[in-house]
Amino acid sequence: MTEPGRDCCADSPGGETLSLAGAPAVDAARRAVLRRRVRWLVAGTITYNVVEAIVAVSAGTIASSSALIAFGLDSVAEVLSAVAVAWQFASADPERRERAALRVIAVSFFLLAAYVAIDSVRSLFGAEASHSAVGIVLAAVSLVVMPVLSGAQRRAGRELGSASAVADSKQTLLCTYLSGVVLAGLLVNALLGWYWADPLAALAIAAVAVREGLEAWRGEHCC
């Protein structure tokens, strides 16, 4: 059990790893299976998010939608996060790269939040976002796909005792929340003409990204 006042993730004696405290013991064969599973899930996440980023940023630019552009940039942040985990698990000793991977994940969140916040505030006082059917469909599809990828990686990461794999799964789960927020903002704008719902949805994305970035930086991804 984690001691009061301590993070659920702890450094190794050498100070180079950051694993989940209380993770169940896993034998070598099972660990190898889980590592392969994480690599495949990361590859799937990267592939989907590259496509998602291209579509979202393109559609957002056409519609002047801060929420869609933010959604696309979140996909870029997810790719960076997934690449960090892929780099970690490409090593014969992934645990030694745990801390560095977590730092990359955290920075990707912070960069996303900074850009989205600035762009959203500017959009509130700038051009109104137009409707985007492509954006609505994309957000709806992501609302279905992202929980599947996130849940599978989270389970594998927890069993493996990898804080970075769990952190990356939370990055993917964030995309699920963002999909819902973006979908709501786009639908409200399309149906009611409330253009300000779009940048407000983007600001909500930025707020969540800051929180997740802080948790990744501190290694607080045990749950």
Task: Give the burial class of 127: count Cβ atoms within 10 A of its Cβ; 0-12 exposed, 13-18 middle, 19 or more buried.
Answer: exposed
Helix, strand or coil for residue 9? Answer: strand
**Both tokens assigned to 211:** 């929180």
Q: Tell me what pLDDT residue 2 has.
A: 40
- Residues 82, 40 contacting (CB under 8 angstroms): no
Q: Tell me what pLDDT residue 220 has.
A: 58
Helix, strand or coil for residue 20? Answer: strand
- Residues 35, 161 contacting (CB under 8 angstroms): no
Q: Tell me what pLDDT residue 190 has.
A: 82
Q: Tell me what pLDDT residue 24 has.
A: 58
Compute the distance between CA of residue 200 and CA of residue 140 in angstroms, rounded to an integer.
Answer: 19
Task: Give the burial class of 223: count Cβ atoms within 10 A of its Cβ; 0-12 exposed, 13-18 middle, 19 or more buried.
Answer: exposed
CATH 1.20.1510 for the 26-218 domain, yes or no: yes
Q: What is the pLDDT of residues 101-127, one digit of tens each?
A: 888 888 888 888 888 788 778 777 766
Report, as ranges of residue numbers, the positions in the chain whose pLDDT lies below 70: 1-26, 126-129, 219-223
Q: Tell me what pLDDT residue 11 has.
A: 44
Compute the distance between CA of residue 26 and CA of residue 108 in angstroms, rounded to an integer.
Answer: 30
Q: Tell me what pLDDT residue 128 has.
A: 66
Q: Tell me what pLDDT residue 126 has.
A: 66
Bridge partners of residue 10, in order along the sequence: 19
pTM of the model: 0.68
Q: Tell me what pLDDT residue 23 has.
A: 52
